């Protein structure tokens, strides 16, 4: 691996370290603050389980974050991660539990603005909605859980010393669960911007075991988070543990458990699959704010006690940090990209042109877009998403959904199917039938990414998406993930 690639990855490690330094407080802050668990014990458990969560359950949320802005050059990934990490570090120095989710979202939007890339508003709205939903949900869970625990203790009549021991064990178990959930949900904040430009290749240990490039990034990010936990998280733990509201050991356990449940709900592919296969509404897999979840749980306990013990001034400082973090990260990213490109001559984004070609027009018509509204733009080439969007916005009769369809169809992303790439995919998680379909296309070139997907679907049923419904949702999401691997493998330089 080239030394420049290693250098670019350091910003992701810095962000992972900053996340561990800040967000470990959300897992063990209440336990350490109430002196029920020693900091060293908390740091060891948190470090181990955050790595496990990142590697084994971190894939779901990275897909959503990647859709928000596909940072497609390592230089851009470096600056996006560095900006987010710097913003989090500055807030950590102030002892504030800020949101790494908000910081990386701010950085990605900063990159989108600099590269004139269209921001995926659907993914952005999903993430923004969780900034409101997650603290409210955590507060509700905390209130219900606290009442249930109070009723249980009142009827169980457990000795005080045994209650103390049970509470300590419960805090350790809840912390382990919370650490796993933190790694699963928030690893997207650390490595999400590197996935489209990943410098790693899949490792095949046997015919049955593959360690993908994404998993390698997640493992690195998980280790970085663990190091942050050990080296710099104690101060924020004490702020969360006692600065916002004085908590009893039982209340501390309720807060950690409530926070962990919220993170798990928004990160579990297994839960999504269970809900979908049973015809139930699914929960979006998005990286939610660990800080907002734990603060929401603490406020829930405070409201249950009448709100008198809540230190509103501390809460105001935390809220101000939440507002400033994404703005600061976005500004640092935009300015940093300018210097990285113009002073240090580094490639911070790969230009993605658009062309309203005949195949693209035919696809739009098939999908129900009234192409007559922009007939004079047919065969025109646009160098950025912003340029084609501005040209189309002048036309009447086009909805926001139509604009998304047009951008997807017109994006130029040359695919060249070659034997070397097919061989590299043979031991991946593609089926034999899917690989065979790729082999039949060896030597073909496709100017639009969707053309390769359509060609594969015509050849093999295993490449065809199923009818859109709740039951088939998981299958179609998995198929899109496999296609994303194919696109990365066969993408040619424009």
Say which residues have a Cβ less than 8 Å from residue 85's Cβ, sequence separation at least 6: 11, 14, 15, 17, 18, 103
Query: What is the DSSP code (8-state) at residue 34?
Result: T
Domain region containing 406: 354-410
User: Phi/psi of residue 479, each to 5°?
Assistant: -65, -40
* 398 HSE (CA, 13 A, CB side): 24
Q: Are residues 405 and 420 in the same domain?
A: no
| Closest-CA residue to 181 (of 342, 58, 272, 42) | 58
The answer on 427 and 305 residing in a single domain is no
What average pLDDT does this structure show over 359-370? 92
User: Within this chain, do residues 405 and 425 fall inside the same structural domain, yes or no?
Assistant: no
Going by pLDDT thresholds of 50, 70 and 90, the confidence category of residue 493 is low
Check whether residue 195 and residue 231 sit in a common domain.
yes
pTM of this structure = 0.81
Domain final residue pick, 293, 314, 342 = 342
pLDDT at 494: 44
The verdict on 268 and 301 lying in the same domain is yes
Split at pLDDT 50, 70, 90, the class of 386 is confident
- 395 and 428 together in one domain: no
Q: Would you give the distance in Å from CA 442 to the centre of its chain?
A: 34
Q: How far apart are CA 346 and CA 340, in angstroms?
A: 6
Task: Spell out the residues 6+ positions from residue 293 whose beta carbon is closer than 8 angstroms to its own.
Answer: 26, 134, 135, 137, 138, 258, 259, 262, 263
pLDDT in tens, 232-288: 787 777 666 556 677 888 888 998 899 889 988 888 777 777 877 777 777 877 878
The mean pLDDT of 3-27, rounded to a whole number, is 80
Last residue of a domain, one of 320, 342, 364: 342
In a domain, 348, yes or no: no
Work out the angle at residue 398's Cα, subtended by the Cα atoms of residues 395 and 404, and round it to the nearest 5 degrees. Answer: 115
Q: Are 196 and 188 in contact (CB under 8 A)?
A: no
- Contact criterion met (CB below 8 Å) for 102 and 121: no
Helices (H), 69-99: 74-93
Which of 315, 342, 369 marks a domain boundary? Answer: 342
In a domain, 349, yes or no: no
**How many domains is the chain built from?**
3
CA angle 324, 143, 320 (to 5 degrees): 10
Nearest-angstrom CA–CA distance, 194 and 339:
20
Question: Which residues have CB under 8 Å from 421's CB, separation 6+?
Answer: 489, 490
* DSSP, residue by residue, 132-187: HHHHHHHHHHHHHHHHHHHHHHHHH---HHHHHHHHHHHHHHHHHHHHHHHHHHHH
Bridge partners, residue 382, by sequence: 354
CA-nearest of 300, 259, 255 to 36 is 255
Do residue 288 and residue 429 come from a single domain? no
Residue labelled with tokens 């410098």: 199
Find the mean pLDDT for residues 138-155: 93
Let me know whether 193 and 249 are in one domain: yes
Task: Give the per-residue pLDDT at 60.
Answer: 59
Handedness of CA 13, 94, 127, 46 (dihedral sign): positive
Residues 180 and 227 occupy one common structural domain: yes
Residues 436 and 459 in one domain: yes
Same domain, 476 and 363: no
47 inside domain: yes
User: Do 438 and 384 belong together in one domain?
Assistant: no
For residue range 57-101, list pLDDT tens digits in order. 776 566 666 667 778 888 898 999 899 989 988 887 877 777 788
82 lies in some domain: yes
129 belongs to a structural domain: yes
Residue 373, Cβ density class (10 Å: 0-12 exposed, 13-18 middle, ≥19 buried): middle
């Amino acid at each position: 691996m080239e030394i420049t690639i290693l250098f670019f990855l350091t910003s992701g490690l810095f962000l992972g370290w900053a996340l561990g330094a800040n967000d470990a407080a959300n897992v063990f802050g209440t336990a350490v603050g109430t002196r029920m668990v020693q900091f060293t014990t908390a740091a060891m458990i948190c470090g181990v389980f955050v790595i496990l969560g990142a590697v084994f359950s971190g894939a779901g949320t990275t897909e959503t974050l990647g859709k928000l802005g596909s940072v497609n050059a390592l230089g851009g990934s470096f600056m996006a991660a560095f900006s987010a990490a710097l913003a989090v570090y500055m807030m950590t120095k102030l002892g504030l539990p800020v949101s790494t989710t908000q910081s990386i979202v701010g950085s990605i939007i900063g990159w989108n603005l600099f590269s004139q890339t269209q921001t995926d508003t659907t993914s952005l709205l999903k993430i923004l909605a969780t900034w409101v939903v997650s603290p409210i949900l955590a507060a509700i869970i905390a209130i219900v859980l606290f009442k249930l625990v109070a009723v249980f203790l009142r009827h169980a009549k457990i000795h005080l010393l045994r209650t103390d021991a049970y509470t300590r064990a419960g805090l350790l178990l809840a912390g382990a669960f919370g650490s796993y959930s933190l790694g699963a949900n928030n690893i997207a904040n650390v490595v999400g911007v590197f996935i489209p430009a990943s410098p790693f290749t899949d490792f095949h240990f046997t015919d049955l075991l593959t360690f993908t490039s994404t998993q390698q990034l997640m493992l690195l990010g998980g280790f970085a988070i663990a190091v942050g936990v050990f080296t710099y998280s104690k101060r924020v733990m004490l702020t969360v543990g006692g600065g916002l509201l004085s908590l009893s050991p039982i209340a501390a356990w309720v807060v950690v458990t409530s926070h962990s449940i919220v993170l798990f709900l928004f990160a579990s592919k297994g839960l999504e699959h269970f809900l979908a296969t049973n015809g139930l509404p699914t929960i979006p897999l998005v990286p939610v704010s660990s800080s907002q979840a734990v603060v929401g749980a603490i406020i829930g306990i405070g409201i249950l006690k009448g709100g008198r013990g809540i230190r509103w001034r501390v809460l105001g400082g935390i809220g101000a940090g939440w507002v400033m973090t994404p703005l600061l990260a976005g500004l640092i990213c935009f300015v940093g990209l300018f210097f990285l490109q113009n002073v240090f001559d580094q490639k911070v984004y790969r230009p993605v042109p658009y062309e309203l070609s005949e195949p693209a027009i035919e696809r739009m018509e098939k999908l129900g877009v009234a192409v007559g509204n922009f007939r004079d733009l047919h065969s025109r080439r646009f160098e950025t998403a912003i340029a084609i969007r501005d040209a189309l916005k002048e036309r009447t009769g086009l909805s926001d959904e139509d604009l998304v369809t047009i951008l997807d169809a017109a994006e130029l992303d040359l695919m060249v199917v070659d034997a070397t790439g097919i061989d590299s995919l043979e031991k991946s998680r593609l089926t034999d039938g899917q690989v065979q379909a790729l082999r039949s296309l060896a030597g073909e070139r496709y100017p639009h990414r969707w053309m390769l997907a359509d060609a594969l679907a015509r050849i093999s049923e295993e490449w065809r998406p199923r009818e859109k419904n709740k039951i088939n949702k998981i299958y179609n999401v998995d198929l899109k993930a496999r296609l994303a691997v194919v696109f990365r493998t066969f993408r040619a330089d424009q």
